[in-house]
Amino acid sequence: MAAQRVVIGVDSSTQSTKALAVDLATGTVLGQGRAAHTVSEGAGRESDPEQWWRALGEAVAATGWADRAVAVSVAGQQHGLVTLDAAGRPVRPALLWNDVRSAPQAARLRDGFGREEIARRTGSVPTAAFTAAKWAWLREHEPAAADRVAAVRLPHDFLTERLTGEPATDRGDASGTGWWGPDGYDREILDRIGLDPALLPPVLAPGTGVGFVGPDLPLRQGTLVATGTGDNMAAALGLGLTPGQPVLSLGTSGTVYAVGRKRPTDPSGTVAGFADALGGWLPLACTLNCTLAVDRFAALLGRDREEVEEGGTAVVLPYLDGERTPDLPGASGLVHGLRHDTTPGQLLQAAYDGAAHALLTALEDVLGAGGESPDQDVPLLLIGGGARGRAWQRTVLRLSGRAVQVPAAAELVALGAAAQAAALVTGEPADAVACRWRTAEGLLLEPVARDDEALERITVTLRRAGALQGAPARDQ
């Protein structure tokens, strides 16, 4: 009888690290672990990369398979700026994707090249979230720190390099920096923001490995290490996505994406033209405010997150951290349309609606950017921490008009990383591994009539609130 082969997939997200030990043959999760992160509050959003490394060790150890896994892959939150000194230690805490202080630098980058040109070069129009804007912010506001930087990495790159001692990234995560295109690193953009390309890691081809786990580390020495990727790309792998299948992910951020057959270049900035972790594309729209913003409204109202009531005239724009889609980095939360008979449950439902609105209205643009035709008969895959919440499910059903499928598999980012690790062992494409594991199967919710009235009410309110919400983020 053949020995059981196990791979480990790691998801290093904003709030925590999750690790899954997965049977390579069947996709069965044999063990899992989790360790929390801390994120700064106030004007910025920062996190110490050293805590990600400690959390990885804790989470991997908790799976029970750290000393027996044959391969590992790390997926990480996109866009984060990790700056390392000559010894490989962080120069300062990482600037995270939801730190909007770099909005002025993103605007200068957009204006300097023009939206059409920068979308042509990189696939995306950069916002404050993109790594290029964050490096420009660091050069401007902390030049002494920037001068000490010997290596620039993304979160998953940092962890992969700690495991192997080898610098590397992949095309998926690199496509979210704002300085990478299909021909590689864009030297003109790097020159504009003052970043030496020698500080960046090589971009490895899909399906290749970085190296092996070194001695005295959280995993067995000699374990194969895959390139890893960004969290959204890993979730797409974990679902075994085929072109045209839309996904809505409900987490700290909200994302809607689909695998596309053509390279996206959206000069409006609604759709980010990301690469996937294979050879294709992953057009994506992202919001900063999703489950945490709705939970904050529930706390302010003194209600459980499921205690919602439909109806009423209230509109909530829950932009508690500024917003990325629409691009309003200086925005704050707004409540409009209150009446004497507005109930707390209706106000909470309005917060759900406001959080889902931007994602669902961007869905057609996401599909079109990847060369796919919107098809209302294709179910919307609902994933992420909010996907199993009944209030979230009902909101997405009501505002999308589509059937909604909720995969039974949990921790799809870590599962996608595990599929990438398994592919390194078997030679299969990682999405084929996930299809063999049948990861997308789950509860199917039948469609209901789309609530166009609610969508229009939010759209009108957002347009009228433009003067209030359009103030730029503070240049700090």
Residues of 199-218 as b/e, b for ≥16 C-beta within 10 angstroms? bbbebbebbebbbbbbeebb
CATH placement of domain 233-428+438-468:
3.30.420.40
Mean pLDDT, rounded, for 357-382: 88
Judged against a pLDDT cut of 60, whether residue 201 lies above it is answered with yes
Tokens of 74: 């790390």
Q: 364 pLDDT exceeds 90? A: no
Architecture of domain 6-230: 2-Layer Sandwich (3.30)
Q: What pTM did the predictor assign?
A: 0.91
At 394, list the tokens: 């009902």
Catalytic sites, residue numbers: 231
DSSP-derived 3-state class of residue 123 = coil
Residue whose structure tokens are 């084929």 = 432
Q: Is the pLDDT of residue 472 over 50?
A: no
Q: Across residues 415-421, what is the average pLDDT?
A: 98
Residues 6+ away with beta carbon under 8 Å from 161: 88, 153, 167, 168, 201, 210
- Cα distance between residue 113 and residue 467, in whole Å: 26
Residue from 19, 24, 11 nearest 437 by CA: 24
- Rounded to the nearest 5°, which phi and psi values hold at 381? -80, 125
Mean pLDDT of the chain: 94
Positive or negative: CA dihedral 90, 229, 17, 20: negative
User: Quick one: pLDDT at residue 326?
Assistant: 87
pLDDT at 471 over 80: no
- Across 66-76, average pLDDT: 97
Q: What is the pLDDT of residues 295-331, one digit of tens each?
A: 999 999 999 999 999 999 999 999 998 898 888 888 9
DSSP-based three-state secondary structure for 122 = helix
Domain ranges of the chain: 6-230, 233-428+438-468
What is the predicted pLDDT for the residue at 244?
Answer: 87
CA 250/CA 7 separation, integer angstroms: 26
Burial 149-179 (b: 16+ CB within 10 A, else e): bebbbbbbbbbbbbbbebbbbbbbbbbbbbb
Q: What is the pLDDT of residue 106?
A: 96
pLDDT > 90? residue 289 = yes
User: How do residues 210-231 score in pLDDT, each as one tens digit?
Assistant: 999 999 999 999 999 999 999 9
| CA distance linking residue 228 with residue 80, whole number of Å | 15
Please indicate whether the domains covering 6-230 and 233-428+438-468 agree at the CATH topology level: yes
Average pLDDT rounded to a whole number, residues 133-156:
98
Cα distance between residue 155 and residue 419, in whole Å: 19
Side chain identity at residue 312, one-letter code: G
Nearest residue to 252 via CA among 379, 79, 373: 79
pLDDT of residue 370: 87
